[in-house]
Structure 1
Amino acid sequence: MKILILGAGAVGGYWGARLTQAGVDVTFLLREKRAALVKANGLVVKSPKGDFTVPVKVVTRGDEGAPYDVVIVACKAYDLDSAIASIASAVGPDTTIVPMLNGHAHFATLDATFGAARVAGGLARISGMLGPNGEIVHSGASGVSFGERDGKAARPALVELDAACKKAGIDGGLNPDINQDLWDKWVMLGTIASMCAAMRGTVGDIVAAEDGAALVRETLDECCKVAAAAGHAPSAKVRAGLEAGLTQPGAKSVASILGDMEKGGAVEARSIVGDMLMRARKAGVAAPNLRFAYAHLQAYEARRARGGLRP
């Protein structure tokens, strides 16, 4: 099986490095600057599971080595259009596309471009970031989840990808109920991203505020109601786990969207918070906390677009 991974950040880089380490045929599709660095140094991984450096195959055009059996799209939502343009020539008639983006909005775009039959569901639970020298700093969780969005038996490419993940020691893998898993993660992200962005703090910082924990619970409830309206309410066990984790005193957990804001970067405002709010409105779900958080994020985007605080 030939796998192409678009992106070598915390998700795509760690996953692909582990697969390569296990002898799986993986190629990375990267921008010129990142490609040059990875070609020169290999993928450098710092991890609690052991540091390692692995040489990997790198291309800067999708048609190099095409077609691929599986194309994994590991980018931010705001880079989706450029990602589609990059992978288009890598996709053959039997290629399966596995997007690892947050939320659900990307599926409509990918389905319209490549056809829904080619696009599987996928999500990552890999904790990490890029270090100052381009190394992948893995900090804990290392799970992925993927499967058929129509609930049918998994196609051979996904079964083979699952086997490759197990060989590489990657947690998770093939999930027969990927749609529920996608919603469960989005409910979590919608809550933590909204709160961290609006409050500008970690979970511990937020719950230390007088009404912090109550606001988190309200926001979680809004997201759960949106998921329920779509037919994918989190189970009682999942919801209880989310509430406990998102209201834990002293917790250092934080949404990556806050880090992006603090460095003045682009943010996944629409895909994580805005789309959840839009679905709430369509379903008639009151979502005042999501409304406030999304307005906050839009104001940040407006400020960023004009270069800061100037009038």
Structure 2
Amino acid sequence: MRLLVLGAGALGGYFGGRALERGLEVVFLVRPRRAAQLARDGLRVESPLGDIRRAVQTAERAGPGFDAVLLSCKAYDLEDAIAAIRPAVEAGACVLPVLNGLAHMDTLNDAFGPAQIWGGLAKCQATLAADGVVKHLGDWRWLTFGEQDGRMDGRAAALAEALGKSKGLEAEAVPDIQRRMWEKLVHLGTVAAGTVLMRANVGEIVRAGGRDFLLALLERNAAIAAAHGHAMTPAFLDSYRALFSDPASAYTASMLRDLEAGGRTEAEHILGYLAEAARRAGVEDTLHAMALLHARAYDQRRQAGRLA
């Protein structure tokens, strides 16, 4: 299969590199500066599951001939990303978005139609260092996706089979991708709101006495999901109660890393979406509103050039 990867940052670089290892033809759609970096140094991934360093194909414009597009941009870049991939999608490629949250799905469906848009989620902690190295921060390596109508006989299933399951990547096509995306939003909304409000990782919050605070966020996010038709299973909740109770955990959200680096965040896409969903569902929204306010106030300072 032929895969177009938008960007070669944290997720695009990691999953694109693993796709290359599996024998797929991969082209990275990147800006000139990143293209020059890749031409000089190759794609470099440092991972506890095995490093990658290899030459890659890049392009500055999309074109026909791709089976799928891996869309790994930040939510605030979605409109530009849609314009960039449009030639490939209009030529027949399907879109596998691994953006955080759910708000992007309506935008993509409106742009291209739901038949070519898959649901998708990545469970992978990675970051792009200043020197262009993709640093994989743990052993999370899961890429889960599926066609919105639940079909299991189309290109999503074929891509999952081509990517397969190996030490560095476990790809799976599923018939219930909407539920899976809500599961991720419940856990992501918890870690994002908690770590952004407290400016600390999970273990630091727990050690400071914040376990009940994190668990309250988790329960409220689960209540929001249930009100929208996607109740969390007891096993799911038990696993994340344990994660958010671990005093040794270094887990944090990419939103906090972006904030600490003085960059833009996906607060509106994640925290804003959950705050509005809580209000629609009649779920107590004070914690969500405070997290969103915190992120918006930070953004005001960033835009004014007043960050420390």
Question: Which category describes the TM-score, using the shorter chain as reference length?
Answer: over 0.9
The residue number in structure 2 matching 1:228 is 226
Seen in structure 2, the aligned counterparts of structure 1 residues 309 and 42 have a Cα distance that, compared at 3 Å, is: closer
In 2, Cα distance between equivalents of 1:101 and 1:282: 23
The residue number in structure 1 matching 2:172 is 173
Query: Aligned pair 1:191/2:196, yes or no?
Result: no
In 1, Cα distance between equivalents of 2:261 and 2:163: 33
The residue number in structure 2 matching 1:60 is 60
Give the unaligned 5+ runs of structure 1.
none
The residue number in structure 2 matching 1:20 is 20
Q: Is the 8 A contact 1:148 1:154 kept in 2?
A: no
In 1, Cα distance between equivalents of 2:307 and 2:66: 46
Secondary structure, in 3 states, of the residue corresponding to 1:144?
strand
Seen in structure 2, the aligned counterparts of structure 1 residues 190 and 55 have a Cα distance that, compared at 3 Å, is: same
Q: What does the per-residue CA deviation read over 1:215-273, in whole Å, with 9 as the maximum and x for residues that have no partner?
A: 11111111001100111111000011111101211211111111111111000101111
Q: Is the 8 A contact 1:191 1:223 kept in 2?
A: yes
Query: Aligned pair 1:248/2:235, yes or no?
Result: no
Between 19-28 and 146-155, report the one with greater CA deviation.
146-155
Q: Is the 8 A contact 2:262 2:307 kept in 1?
A: no
Moved over 3 A (4+): none
State the AA in 2 paired with 1:92. Answer: E
- Pairing partner for 2:293 from 292, 295, 300: 295
> What is the CA distance between 1:21 and its match in structure 2?
2.1
**Identity over the aligned pairs, expressed in percent?**
39
Measured on the aligned residues, the alpha-carbon RMSD in Å equals 1.5
State the AA in 2 paired with 1:198. Answer: L
The residue number in structure 2 matching 1:263 is 261
In 2, Cα distance between equivalents of 1:68 and 1:93: 8
Map residues 1-311 of structure 1 onto 2, 5 A cutoff.
1-63=1-63, 66-139=64-137, 140-155=139-154, 157-166=155-164, 170-210=169-209, 212-308=210-306
Give the unaligned 5+ runs of structure 2.
none
> What is the CA distance between 1:93 and its match in structure 2?
4.7
> What is the CA distance between 1:304 and its match in structure 2?
1.0
In 1, Cα distance between equivalents of 2:55 and 2:172: 24
In 2, Cα distance between equivalents of 1:209 and 1:49: 32
> What is the CA distance between 1:302 and its match in structure 2?
1.2
Q: What does the per-residue CA deviation read over 1:4-33, in whole Å, with 9 as the maximum and x for residues that have no partner?
A: 010111211111111112221111100110
In 2, Cα distance between equivalents of 1:96 and 1:154: 14
Q: Is the 8 A contact 2:179 2:230 kept in 1?
A: yes
